[in-house]
Chains A and B, each alone.
Chain A
Amino acid sequence: MSVIYLLISVSIFVAICFFIAFIVAVKSGQYDDDYTPSVRILFDDETKINSQNNNSPIEEKQV
């Protein structure tokens, strides 16, 4: 039955890991801007679809 010591310790340990992850996420400013990333994540795909759809002969200008 002493396995319960182990189980509870492990569960608390896992919980603490998540808690630390939360603190780190807050500290990094992840929650400061809750809108822009949601738009940003959609961008890459749309650009790809676009370049496939309109095969316009636009040359990449070398700046």
Chain B
Amino acid sequence: MREQSCFHCGLTIEQNEEIDFDDKKFCCTGCKTVYEIFSINDLTSYYDFEKSPGATPQDIKGKYDFLENETILAKVLEFQEGNTSIVSLNIPHIHCSSCIWILENLNRLQQGISTSQVNFHEKKVRITFNSDVVSLKEIVYLLSSIGYEPYISLENYGSAKAKIDRSLTYKLGVAFFCFGNIMLLSFPEYFEMKEFWLDSYKPFFRLLIFLLALPTFLYSASGYYVSAYHSIRTRMLNIDIPIALGIIVMFIRSTYDMLMDHGPGFFDSLASLIFFMLLGKMFQIKTYSFLSFERDFKSYFPIAVTKINKDASEDNVAIYDVLKGDRLLIRNQELIPVDGILISESAEIDYSFVTGEAVPITKKSGDKVFAGGKQIGKVIEMEVLHSVSQSYLTQLWSNEIFQKKVDQKHKTITDAISRYFTPILLLIAFAGFGYWIFKDANTAFNVFTAVLIVACPCALALTAPFTFGNILRILGKKKFYLKNAVVIEQLAKVDTIVFDKTGTITTNKKSNIMYEGNSISDSDIVLIKNVLRGSNHPLSRMLYDFLPEAKRIVVEEFQEITGKGILAIIGGKEIKIGSGQFVNDIVADGSEIEKTALHIKMGEIYFGKYTFQNQYREGLEKLFANLSKDYKIKVLSGDNDGERSNLEAILPKGTELIFNQKPEQKLEYIKKLQEKGQNVMMVGDGLNDAGALAQSNVGISISENVNVFSPACDAILDASEFSHLNYFLKLSHKAILIIKMSFGLSLLYNVVGLAFAVTGNLLPLVAAIIMPLSTITIVSFVTLMSNYFSNRNL
């Protein structure tokens, strides 16, 4: 039979479950309702831009009640004055042009909204509305009802809009403007035409050139002076010292030449040099606006929770106002924001955010529940034990590693080279000066300045930005997103790799499902599948997807008991699916760690159980085998060592496996490795790895879907590319190799230039040719090389 997909969301429609409406097929009433809303409002062109662009609206009853609270509302709104309010909402579902279209036509759906503007890359919509006519809560409900549920987290709470730093763009603009005009005006000088009328305008041209050079020298290049000054103060010779020195000497010498009428000076070279260096800086910055590398628990946690007062009334309170002893109400799919004790009978808590473990954990009344878990199923009540900042998980962020702002953990390769470059350069300059001073004082000054000008390591300074910028883009195309260029250098230095287990080397998408017990007939499997259809428990969904396609049978009675299982009756036969205790009164004897399993009982006969095992990512074995040749590999896990034998079979010999690690212990472990002088790369996924990711030299977070959230890190790797990790590491080594090669090339240029300089023959024209030429060859060399290496099979 032909597979049908939903007109609204594009998901495959299950057999016999389709809903026909207006000659279109839908997979569920939710999708149909969205279509109805759009067609009533004449907005069906939503479906013309993209095929099946929608998402099924989720049930959000009561979830956004906190938006009625004035103080919380004020924190969420970006702007509010009179009745005009502006809010910026993050909507993860934004993915196509239809989304932009519908979200920018919100004013046709809801009165009171004046404009809405989408920023596609940031997945944000900025809505201006009249707060007298419509409230934010109503807008959020409207968005949710059409399948665009906004994501409001603690991060939105009173975060001041970060100002975008555009100074580099301005500096680049100024440099480009001056560079272009100076070049035009210098043209007559290049040809040294002795024509009378051009000669007579020389002073005017030179004055203009000088005036145009001023903003470049004073404004565009200012970053280099500041950086050079800082590096002298901290006694770390970085590349900016010879650059700043070259620029300043060039400017003074040119001004002097011009005033004394010796020649036109080097203003053209000066402007081009600054322009190209700023361009390199710009190129190196590749930002992924849809990713964030700075996330902490705040982007996961909700803004407010429902608090139950003493008189049993309910209130929405901001998370930061939750105190010890408060009683909280947690609804389906809501996150538990603080540590506490469960008061309701039972709860199913999904800790996948924290640990990467997909299977929810069952808690009983009186059990401790930790912050970061997500309740699945019924509404639960809990009593608070610790406030937000004191909770088990959030305490991790009080570790000093999160307080320090570590900008430069490493000395970059360019700086390492310039440590030798700067002294040698000064030595040559003074040697040339010393040689000529006894012959001709005037030439001596010329030689001294010419050396500094020519040796100005512009090509050297351009090498790294262009190589890294290019590699950054190549990696980005391969779904490995780096925070900045420094990460590439750090990757190349790594010698130890630490992996988290759950969610990192295992996938939480799929599970290995195995059946143990008496054989089940095909007709019984059909029954099981039909029972599971009604359940939303993740285990049931997984098993449901695992079982073969089956006919639909009417389930006569269906009861889902949270934390236990499903009780259903089909054709008079009682079917029990669930935990061992529920199905067959098996009491966990404690001797064996109980595996995650669903037990099956039909009628009075106990059949057996389906066990769920972690599925390791594809290509894991090969990846580890390759990695172990060059790196020390360690696996850290927060779980018990039940998987030890399995892991040992897969992983290469000598891989260290450490189990039962708390988040702080992971951090400490990395720290210890570093104290032994190792460069550690941490690969993790959940919030419990956040400390280790921050502490490590390179923290990589694995994400099944890069658009959703991953903890703060240096790089985000799309989970589907996990097996290419070795390739990425090798490419980073190649990047360093390319830089070293092109350093050689640019030093060659410097030697040629110096030969001109020390003999006292540096003409402005020669400088104007050598400098751009070296720049262009270096840029094309590194671009070609990095593309070559990335395409070669490493």
CB atoms of B100 and A40 under 8 A apart: yes
Which A residues are in CB contact (< 8 Å) with B117? Answer: 36
- List chain A residues, Cβ under 8 A from B97: 39, 42
Chain B residues contacting A39 (CB-CB under 8 Å) are: 97, 100-101, 120
A46 to B164, CA, bound (A): 34
Interface status of A10 (Cβ within 8 A of chain B): no
Contact A23 B170 (CB under 8 A): yes
Q: Point out the residues of chain A lying under 8 angstroms from B39, CB to CB.
A: 58
**Cβ-defined contact, B40 with A58, below 8 A:** yes
- CA of A36 to CA of B197, assembled, Å: 53
Q: Evaluate contact between A15 and B181: CB separation under 8 angstroms.
A: yes
A residues within 8 A CB of B109? 63
Q: How far is the CA of A3 from the CA of B173 in the complex (A)?
A: 29
B residues less than 8 Å from A22 (CB atoms)? 173
Q: How many residues of A contact B (CB 8 A)?
A: 29
Chain A 1-36 per-residue mask, 1 if CB under 8 angstroms from chain B, else 0:
100110010001001000100110011010111011
Given A33-B120, A39-B120, A50-B45, the answer on whether A23 and B208 have CB atoms closer than 8 Å is: no
CB atoms of B100 and A26 under 8 A apart: no
Which residues of chain B from 97 to 131 have any CB-CB distance to chain A below 8 Å in the complex? 97, 100-101, 104, 109-111, 117-122
Knowing A39-B100, A46-B48, the reply to whether A5 touches B204 (Cβ < 8 A) is yes
Residue among A5, A33, A50 making CB contact with B121, cutoff 8 Å: A33
Question: Given the known A-B contacts A1-B197, A22-B173, A61-B40, are A32 and B164 also in contact in the complex, defined by CB atoms under 8 Å?
Answer: yes
Which B residues touch A19, using CB under 8 A? 173-174, 177
| Known contacts A1-B197, A36-B100, A58-B39; A26/B166 CB under 8 A | yes
Question: Nearest A residue to B97 by beta-carbon distance?
Answer: A39
A23 to B101, CA, bound (A): 30
Q: Which residues of B contact A63 (CB under 8 A)?
A: 41, 109-111
Whether B111 pairs with A36 at a CB distance below 8 angstroms is: no
Nearest CB of B to A31, in Å: 7
Point out which of A36, A43, A63 has the most chain B C-beta atoms below 10 A from its C-beta. A36
A39 nearest CB neighbor, chain B only: B97
* Closest chain A residue to B104, Cβ basis: A40
Give the chain A neighbours of B100 by CB distance below 8 A. 36, 39-40, 43
- Which residue of B is nearest A32, CB measured? B164
**Which B residue's beta carbon lies closest to that of A58?**
B42
**Does B626 lie at the interface of the complex (its beta carbon under 8 Å from any beta carbon of A)?**
no
B 173-203 contacts with A by CB, 8 A: 173-174, 177, 180-181, 185, 197, 201
Distance in angstroms from B116 CB to nearest chain A CB is: 12
Q: How far is the CA of A5 from the CA of B208 in the complex (A)?
A: 11
Q: How far is the CB of B15 from chain A (nearest CB, A)?
A: 30
Complex interface residues of chain B between 711 and 735 (CB less than 8 A to chain A): none
Q: Is B49 an interface position by the 8 A CB rule?
A: yes
The residues of A that contact B177 with a CB separation of less than 8 Å are 15, 19
Is the pair A12, B118 in contact by a Cβ cutoff of 8 Å? no
| A contact face: mostly helix, strand, loop, or mixed | helix
> What's the least CB distance linking B248 to chain A, in Å?
25
* B-side contacts of A51, CB under 8 Å: 42
Q: Report A-chain residues with C-beta under 8 Å of the C-beta of B48.
A: 46, 50
Asked if B166 and A27 sit within 8 Å, CB to CB, the answer is: yes
B559: CB under 8 A from chain A? no
Q: B169 at the A/B interface (Cβ < 8 Å)?
A: yes
C-alpha gap A46/B46 in the complex (Å): 10
A-contacting residues, B432-467, CB 8 Å? none
A12 lies within 8 A of B181 (CB): yes
Which of B41, B101, B120, B169 lies in contact with A31, CB distance below 8 A? Answer: B169
CB distance from A63 to the nearest CB of B (A): 5
Beta-carbon contact of A60 and B42 below 8 Å = yes
| Chain B 135-174 residues near chain A, CB threshold 8 A | 164, 166, 169-170, 173-174
Per the bound structure, the CA–CA distance linking A52 and B173 in Å amounts to 46
A31: chain B residues within 8 A (beta carbon): 169
> What's the Cα separation between A40 and B146 when bound, in Å?
20
Q: How far is the CB of B211 from chain A (nearest CB, A)?
A: 9
| Minimal beta-carbon separation of A2 from chain B (angstroms) | 9
A residues within 8 A CB of B44?
Answer: 58
Whether the pair A36, B208 counts as a contact (CB closer than 8 A) is no
On whether the beta carbons of A43 and B173 are closer than 8 Å, the reply is no
Nearest residue in B to A8 (C-beta to C-beta)?
B208
Contacts of A61 in B (CB 8 A): 40-42
Smallest beta-carbon distance B47→chain A, Å: 10
Chain A residues with CB under 8 A of B41: 60-61, 63
In the assembled complex, which residues on chain A have CB atoms less than 8 Å from the CB atom of B49?
Answer: 46
CB distance from A33 to the nearest CB of B (A): 5
Q: Measured between alpha carbons, how far is A31 from B287 in the docked complex, in Å?
A: 13
- Tell me, in angstroms, the Cα distance from A51 to B88 when the chains sit together: 31
Q: Is the CB of B120 within 8 A of A36?
A: yes
A33→B119 contact, CB < 8 A: yes
Residue numbers in B under 8 Å from A5 (CB-CB): 204
Q: A35 and B208 in contact (CB under 8 A), knowing A26-B173, A46-B45?
A: no
Taking the closest CB of chain A, its distance from the CB of B198, in whole angstroms, is 10
* In the complex, chain B residues whose CB is within 8 Å of the CB of A60: 41-42
B361 to chain A, nearest CB (A): 41
| Beyond A19-B174, A61-B41, 9 extra complex contacts between A and B, CB < 8 Å | A8-B185, A23-B170, A26-B169, A26-B173, A32-B119, A36-B100, A43-B100, A58-B40, A63-B109
Interface residues of A (CB under 8 A from B): 1, 4-5, 8, 12, 15, 19, 22-23, 26-27, 29, 31-33, 35-36, 39-40, 42-43, 46-47, 50-51, 58, 60-61, 63
The 3 closest A-B pairs by CB, nearest first: A36-B120, A39-B97, A50-B45
20 contacts between A and B (CB under 8 A): A4-B201, A12-B181, A12-B208, A15-B177, A15-B180, A19-B174, A22-B173, A26-B166, A29-B164, A31-B169, A32-B164, A33-B120, A40-B100, A46-B48, A47-B45, A50-B45, A50-B48, A58-B40, A60-B41, A61-B42
